Amino acid sequence: MRKYMIDCHEEETCFAFTRGLDSRVERIFLASNDAKKRLGLLEDGENLFDVIPELNSEMFDDYKLRFGAFERKITGYSQEASELSELGFEQVGRLLVPHYKVLTKSDLVLKINDLSVKSYKREMFWDLLVKFPGLEPVYDVQNDRYEKFDSETMMILDEEQL
């Protein structure tokens, strides 16, 4: 069998997301490949479900959105012409983080001083203040595992956008 490369790629755009406590990534392929335009609309404050009509708000009735991102799937043919080689998914634009996954420094201080918050959680929030002493917010990566929020690569979706 003759082997050769075909330099032909098809790009598909999708919206990838996780919800609830599940770390499994779900993807909805979009009708058009205009991820940057849609991201711009979100940056301007548009509602997520208006910008992505392929996404249904009822999908999040039981489990809230954890993270979302536009992605591009790039596929092409390589080796034998009949063998499809999946190159994977590439993120387009910034990671979308819901407002309820982000804590600012003032949020952390409030939680530390709130006696109704369990002591181990108050200690965890104190450790976050020590670990991230600046004014930058932190976000919940997974199950109370917080990291520094990077506004260059991430965007917060506020309450009106969800």
The tens digit of pLDDT for each residue in 80-110 reads 444 444 457 888 899 999 999 999 999 999 9
Q: What is the mean pLDDT of residues 18-30?
A: 84
- Higher-pLDDT residue of 76 and 51 is 51
Which residue type, as a one-letter code, is found at position 22?
D
Q: What's the number of CA atoms in the CB half-sphere (13 Å) around residue 124?
A: 13
**Measured in Å, how far apart are the chain's first and last C-alpha atoms?**
53
pTM above 0.75, yes or no: yes
DSSP H or E run through 11: strand 9-19
Domain locations along the chain? 9-96, 101-150
